[in-house]
Amino acid sequence: MKLSPAVMAVLFLLPIAGTAGCGDSGNGSADLPRDASARDSAGDIQSDVAADAADASGGDGVEPDNAGPTDTFADALDDAEASPVDSGTDDFEDPGLGDLADDGVELDADADSALDSFDSQTVDAGDVAPIQDAVTLGCAPTGPAAPVVDCAHPVEYQGGTHQTCVVVPEGQCHTFWMGAVPNELYIVPMQKEVPRRMVHLTGYRMSKYLITVAEYRACVQNGPCRPIPANSCLANPMAGDLGLAEPNLSDDAKLNHPVDCVSYADAETFCGWLGGELPSEARFEYAAAGPMTDANQIVYFPWGSNLDSEGSELPDKVECHANIKGTTAWGDPFPQTSPVGFFDGGLKTRAQGGWIGGPDTYQTCDDTGPFGTRDMTHNVLIFLKDGPTMYRDLPEGQVDPEIDPVCEGVTVRATSWRYEDMVHTRVTNRHFICLVKDNMPEGVPFSRNVIRSNDIGFRCAFDR
């Protein structure tokens, strides 16, 4: 089975990121999720894609994405003459503000001109006053002076405990500036990340960790989640592997790794089982960036904003904060996903991390975000509730904004083990994956739920 190179080569957008100091807190153990029992063997997670096909649409009102023979998706893609997936060409090396048609968004002349004029100018805070609803809610333009870490809010489920952190306390409203401004990493921000705008958020919590294999297994066995269909997950297209990936759901050695190869509907179903939902882009970015004091404040990464140098090639030592595809002696020892919470500042041993090759020990740096969440911008990309669109379409000063999609597809945030540069781990980094209806192969539904990859996972958000 070999997929078309045209299909594989454009599946993902290249992410973006930056750097910070390396903190060593010794051998401190991460407060990891309580895994589902070891009795959750691979034999319990075998896929039965034909079962209950009538209600397998995932709530999208589209054709079932996991019904029928398991090789239908792969065979159809192999026969496709043109790629059904369009993820754009937003490359950090060439961040010019040009035609956005590749992102599923056509710019009119006025909008294109407005974007082109966004060069190295700062943001005038006087132009971003909150709307009346925000004032009524008590939202303050400066928000809290410092984040408060409160992760003592477990969600119990049959088979384990899911840990969450408070981002905005109940009854409060926090204000921050979403999107990018010119900074030391680049002069003109990525076209998907401008213009920056004021956003207000009311109370919510966020998953402390990415959803793990053990947690998703528990939902399959005790809840509404479906097994991940075989032959439905694409394998490492950016590295030239044009075959299919094996979902890690059946791998007993990766119970504490982020689950991969899920669809958008799979992620929605799991979060709903816990009483939550996928996070909006605004909720995700604030949880990663933390409080801001003015419209021009820059936050590069969840763990801080100090840069040791400028440009996309950041010092090797900062790679110890994240699971990316390290190419130096500082590259992490995991060829793909790593255990959630692994990067905590401790000196890790092979026995602790469970890696196969590489060094016997590995010094991590602490990746903890401002509100206590972990793995926020690395390890795997994550699905978000919002659909693909440009910030220019959004009004200023919204409260708890959610973005309506301009295409059938998904927005993903963060970066993954697949990418090499720390610049991809920035908190404002965002990517679109849009399906092209006219290019969809026969037998493959025009649904965002066909988008699965072994470097996309998810986390959940919860209303207070």
Residue 143: which CATH number? Answer: 3.90.1580.10
Check if the beta carbon of residue 296 is closer than 8 Å to that of residue 122.
yes
| Stretches in the chain below the pLDDT threshold 50 | 1-71, 89-130, 237-240, 242, 309-316, 327-328
Residue 29 placed within a domain = no
Residue 203 placed within a domain = yes
Q: What is the largest CA-CA distance in the chain?
A: 60
Q: Distance between CA atoms of 320 and 362, rounded to whole angstroms? A: 9
Total domains in the fold of the chain: 1
* C-alpha separations of 193 from 16, 95, 98, 121, 185 in Å: 11, 11, 13, 15, 14
Residue 245 placed within a domain = yes
Residue 128 placed within a domain = no
pTM greater than 0.75: yes
Residue 214 placed within a domain = yes
Residue 226 placed within a domain = yes
Q: What is the pLDDT of residue 427?
A: 94
Q: What range does the domain containing 390 cover? A: 5-17+37-121+134-315+322-330+369-463
Find how far residue 339's CA is from the centre of its chain.
16
Check if the beta carbon of residue 16 is closer than 8 Å to that of residue 423.
yes
Report pLDDT digits (tens) over 385-394.
999 988 887 8
Length of the chain: 464
Residue 353 placed within a domain = no
Check if the beta carbon of residue 269 is closer than 8 Å to that of residue 228.
no
Half-sphere exposure of residue 269, counting CA atoms within 13 Å on the CB side? 25
Report pLDDT digits (tens) over 279-334.
999 999 999 999 988 888 888 899 887 655 333 444 445 567 888 875 445 567 88
Residue 346 placed within a domain = no
Q: What is the pLDDT of residue 30?
A: 41
